[in-house]
Amino acid sequence: MPLTARYMDAMHIARTAGAFAREFFAHRQVMNAGHGTAGHFAARTFDAIRTVMKTRLAAAFPGDAIIDESIADSSYLELDRAWIIDPVIGRQNFLRGIPYYAVSLAYVEADRCEVGVIYDPEHDELFHVRRGAGAGCEHAGTDTRLEVARCEMLEGALICVAHEEGRHDPVHHVVRQELLDLGADVRAMGAPALELAHVAAGRFDGFVGLNVNQHHLRASALLVEEAGGYTLRPAFAVGARAGTPLVGSAPGIAGPLTDGANLWLGHGAPEVLPSLLTRMH
């Protein structure tokens, strides 16, 4: 099956799944009332969207493996062809009525992400990428080529710092403070893959993900790369340490962010982290 077919179908499937997500989001209060707890509503909602994605992918590409968002290791990298899907990125945002969430698909072939799609249903923005062909965003009938920001220093930069939902890591606070001390503005938006898509679009200058599942972010990492940006993604290799930082940024600030990420990865203990990035900058 040509890669072009997977690329086109991925965009169509993302839009279809996104339409379901938007319908659930718009009527979440009414739908939630019919369930025992918010957790039951969430489980059924995400399962319904996941089923739509899996069913359509299986019908279109019966020989491809389909890996959902529960993936926790790199075993899928040994597969010849695999899809990594996430029905809703930014689940807490979704459940609390915050319109900052997305649907994600990544097609990986022999350990290389070849196609990625991130769809934001609330703003009807379809971020799409094919390796070697650049990255774009479809909105209101127009397809715009993505380019990362031309930021050259951390002072004044807008940086997203993300961590795994429900996991409180003191290193997150240290990294946030380090960046603030360097004059950067820091955001935590709650949907890492969408935040990286916005780095690719030049809206954010950089992204640092701490203890995020990087397998969920393969589509958005490719978006940044094909938009002319830089990524550090050490955990994509088989056997690599899980939970390592992921950096995506404009090239002009890639050095300090990458060096900082390596320091955070190498030390780990919060007490040794303060001022390391400052001394390096």
Q: DSSP of 219-281, one letter per residue?
A: HHHHHHHHTT-EEE-GGGSTTPPTT--EEEE-GGGHHHHHHHHHHHHHH--GGG-TTHHHHH-
Tens of pLDDT, residues 261-274? 767 655 443 333 33
Are residues 193 and 101 in contact, defined by beta-carbon separation less than 8 angstroms? no
* 245 and 122 within one domain: no
Tokens 């127009």 found at: 142
Query: Does some domain include residue 151?
Result: no
Query: Does some domain include residue 152?
Result: no
* 123 and 17 within one domain: yes
Could you tell me the residue range of the domain that residue 275 belongs to? 158-280
Are residues 155 and 236 in contact, defined by beta-carbon separation less than 8 angstroms? no
Contacts of 110 (CB under 8 A, 6+ apart): 80
Residue at 164: amino acid letter: E
Q: Which two tokens stand for residue 107?
A: 């097609």
Query: Does some domain include residue 173?
Result: yes
Distance CA 174, CA 71 (A): 28
* 230 and 115 within one domain: no
Listed residues 88, 113, 145: the one ending a domain: 145
Query: Does some domain include residue 153?
Result: no
Residue at 180: amino acid letter: L
Q: Residue 64 forms beta bridges with which residues?
A: none
Contacts of 153 (CB under 8 A, 6+ apart): 252, 253
* 198 and 133 within one domain: no
Q: Which helix (H) or strand (E) holds 163?
A: strand 158-163
Listed residues 86, 111, 145: the one ending a domain: 145
Res. 43 pLDDT band, cuts 50 70 90: confident
* 224 and 173 within one domain: yes
Distance CA 128, CA 249 (A): 18
* 220 and 137 within one domain: no
The domain tally of the chain equals 2
Query: Does some domain include residue 54?
Result: yes
Q: What is the pLDDT of residue 262?
A: 67
Helices (H), 61-121: 91-95
Q: Residue 83 forms beta bridges with which residues?
A: 66, 107
* 139 and 172 within one domain: no
Distance CA 216, CA 84 (A): 7
Q: What is the pLDDT of residue 40?
A: 79
Domain CATH for 138: 3.30.540.10
Query: Does some domain include residue 90?
Result: yes
Domain CATH for 226: 3.40.190.80
Query: Does some domain include residue 150?
Result: no
SS3 state of residue 34: coil
CA terminus-to-terminus distance, the chain: 48
Distance CA 185, CA 181 (A): 10
Q: What percentage of the chain has pLDDT greater than the value 70?
A: 80
Distance CA 265, CA 262 (A): 5
Of the listed ranges 117-126, 165-174, 201-210, the least confidently predicted one is 165-174
* 275 and 236 within one domain: yes
* 192 and 140 within one domain: no
Listed residues 95, 123, 145: the one ending a domain: 145
Instruction: Determine the average pLDDT of the residues in 61-88.
Output: 83
Residue at 171: amino acid letter: V
* 218 and 140 within one domain: no
Q: What is the pLDDT of residue 76?
A: 65
Res. 48 pLDDT band, cuts 50 70 90: very high
Instruction: Determine the average pLDDT of the residues in 112-132.
Output: 97
* 91 and 201 within one domain: no
* 173 and 261 within one domain: yes
pLDDT score of 209 more than 70? yes
